[in-house]
Chain A
């Protein structure tokens, strides 16, 4: 596997790994790793570094919904123009074009159900190209980005064994 992929594989699982640790793990110079990460950031191969948070644990009441959007594609640009427009709303977490019975899957977060329904009724559905929306509220997250939310991943091994 090339170095770029190896670095990405490590960072995908743990964005906190520093260049020096990565360099040791992959047996290359730290400067090589630093330069390659910078290049990938510049080229927007690496878009950013997120933290996966279980907000429930600190008692934050947020509401997340997945909205299935059916829309009319436009000549020349297809779904892109409207999809990118939807992306601009700060409450929108992700936007993906999906094959099947609807077109866009939009994930939205808000403080309350009202926030989200207001967003759908006032911002999303009012766009000309949108034909219909179905709003699915997310009730509980079990796994996100490879992390289990309620998994007890304590080390179950004996502390010393032959």
Chain B
């Protein structure tokens, strides 16, 4: 019984492991690295939120909640989404509290996909969507997005990828890894294609608060799009709560009911201490959250300006906390670039191709790092470029 692989399902065997994993091992073995490779805030969860969670534990809140999540949290979520993107959801039946947006994406895909259905996914994008589609026995179809479009999803490109099997479009703006945002007009063009081809949209808006140019816009707020969209959001990025694993999905009650069915059998409910913390975040966290966003914006400008000074081409990312510069002026591909940058200058960035083949020629740099580290990273990257161009 030495090779147990034969017991594994075909779908799991054929999903490639995350490209980030390999790089993680490499970086972990190197000392003194400045890492721009992280995908999370450099803030610790604000104290009042941590404190509220402890208080709830002291009070004895250690049990299951309803499958959908605490009603008071769903009410706050409803108020929040109405306030932020102008879409109304009924806390009773149209909102589900999940273990992060990750779970929401997973159960939405499982609720929607028949074997062979196609899921349209912007390329590059966060690493989980394509494997998530495969695990739901769907087919992931990358929809390329381009540097020259500032990585917005283009309606004509989307339409060229649509087949009779297309069923779901995953929207992920502001984007990890590119930092791209989609404004209302951009979304309107996409909505027209979605309606024309009778698609349903999974809109992962986890970076919504981290928008540095106007207000975050949701496709769910456009005419006739509310019921066609499953709006997902969570607390990880805006409130620096990645480790709490808490998020939610909002949508038409039939879809939320189907997702809730999967959720109740697989997860039961999101952890109550995380739900209590999320409640505190929504009730009293706005001010501190705004400060963190302002702080990211300062550092965004710093890194972007630094890239300009050392001659690394980068479009201006207007959301999330990533820059996605082109490394095409060097003789390296993304992986070679990142490996050599790590070995020679001890700066870690993530190869763009880890997020899809269209990310090749780019690297993801996260500016949720200290000003001192960002400035030092820019100097080191400048040295690296001088040697290799």
B100 near A: Cβ within 8 Å?
A: no
Cβ B127 vs Cβ A155 within 8 A: no
What residues on B are CB-neighbors of A160 within 8 Å?
20, 23-24, 27-28, 35, 37-38, 348, 350
A161 at the B interface (CB under 8 A): yes
Asked if residues A27 and B39 are in contact (CB atoms below 8 Å), the reply is no
Q: Indicate with 1 or 0, residue by residue over A119-162, a CB within 8 angstroms of chain B CB atoms.
A: 00000000000000000000000000000000000010111111
Task: Please report the C-alpha to C-alpha distance between residue A17 and residue B298 in the assembled complex, in whole angstroms.
Answer: 12
Residue A24 contacts which of B24, B302, B348 (CB distance < 8 angstroms)?
B302
**Contact partners of A155 in chain B: CB under 8 A:** 42
Closest Cβ of chain B: how far from A62's Cβ, in Å? 29
Is B18 positioned at the interface, with any CB of A under 8 Å from its CB?
yes
The residue that A161 contacts in the complex, of B40, B128, B302, with Cβ under 8 A, is: B40
CB-CB under 8 A from B301, the residues of chain A are: 24-27
Asked if A32 is an interface residue, CB under 8 A from chain B, the answer is: no
Out of A21, A157, A162, name the residue touching B20 (CB < 8 Å): A162
Chain A residues in 8 Å Cβ range of B37? 159-161
Pairwise interchain contact B302-A25, C-beta atoms closer than 8 A: yes
Query: Given the complex of chains A and B, what is the CA–CA distance between A10 and B23 in angstroms?
Result: 34
Q: Does A115 contact B (CB under 8 A)?
A: no
Once the chains bind, are B38 and A158 in contact (CB under 8 Å)?
yes
Q: What's the tally of chain B residues with a CB closer than 8 Å to chain A?
A: 27
Contacts of B298 in A (CB 8 A): 10, 25-26
Residue numbers in B under 8 Å from A161 (CB-CB): 20, 24, 37-40
A21-B371, A24-B302 given; A159·B39 CB < 8 A = no
- CB of A159 within 8 A of CB of B302, answer no
User: Using an 8 Å CB-CB cutoff, how does the interface string of A17-48 with B read, 1 for contact, 0 for none?
Assistant: 10001001111000000000000000000000
The CA-CA distance from A93 to B38 in the complex, in Å, is 42
Please encode chain A, from 39 to 75, with 1 for each CB lying within 8 Å of some chain B CB and 0 for all others.
Answer: 0000000000000000000000000000000000000
Which residues in B have their C-beta under 8 angstroms from that of A27?
301
B67 at the interface (CB under 8 A from A): no
Q: Give the distance in Å from the alpha carbon of A151 to the alpha carbon of B35 in the complex.
A: 22
Interface size on A, residues (CB 8 A): 15
Name A1-27 residues within 8 Å CB distance of B. 10, 14, 17, 21, 24-27
- A159's contact among B18, B38, B128, by CB below 8 Å, is which? B38
A-chain residues with CB within 8 Å of residue B354 when the two chains form the complex? 162
Cα distance, A17 to B38, chains bound together (Å): 24
| A-side contacts of B371, CB under 8 Å | 14, 17, 21, 25
Interface contact B126-A162, CB-CB below 8 Å: yes
Determine the residue in chain B with the shortest Cβ distance to A22.
Answer: B298
Q: Is the CB of A162 within 8 A of B128?
A: yes
Assess whether B33 is interfacial by the CB under 8 Å rule.
yes
Closest to A155 in B: B42
Report if B183 contacts A (CB, 8 A): no
Q: Smallest CB–CB gap between A65 and chain B, Å?
A: 29
Chain A residues closer than 8 Å to B23, beta-carbon distance: 160
Determine the residue in chain B with the shortest Cβ distance to A1. B294
A26 vs B298: C-alpha distance when bound (angstroms): 6
Which residues of chain A from 90 to 129 have a CB within 8 Å of any chain B CB? Answer: none
Q: What are the residues of chain B within 8 A of A162 when measuring CB–CB?
A: 18, 20, 39, 126-128, 176, 354
Q: Cβ of A24 and Cβ of B305 under 8 Å apart?
A: yes
- Chain A residues near B39 (CB, 8 Å)? 161-162
Minimal beta-carbon separation of A15 from chain B (angstroms): 13
B76 at the interface (CB under 8 A from A): no
Interfacial chain A residues near B74, Cβ < 8 Å:
none
- Chain B 129-168: CB-based contact to A (< 8 A → 1; otherwise 0): 0000000000000000000000000000000000000000
Q: Does B299 contact A (CB under 8 A)?
A: yes
A21 to B354, CA, bound (A): 32
For B375, the chain A residues whose CB sits under 8 A away are 21
* Chain A residues proximal to chain B, CB less than 8 Å: 10, 14, 17, 21, 24-27, 155, 157-162
Q: Report 15 cross-chain contacts, Cβ distance below 8 Å, ordered by A residue.
A: A24-B305, A25-B298, A25-B301, A27-B301, A155-B42, A158-B38, A159-B27, A159-B28, A159-B37, A160-B23, A160-B27, A161-B24, A161-B37, A161-B38, A161-B39
A sample of 18 more A-B contacts (CB under 8 A), given A159-B27, A159-B33, is A14-B371, A17-B371, A24-B301, A26-B301, A27-B301, A155-B42, A158-B24, A159-B348, A160-B38, A161-B20, A161-B24, A161-B37, A161-B40, A162-B18, A162-B20, A162-B39, A162-B176, A162-B354
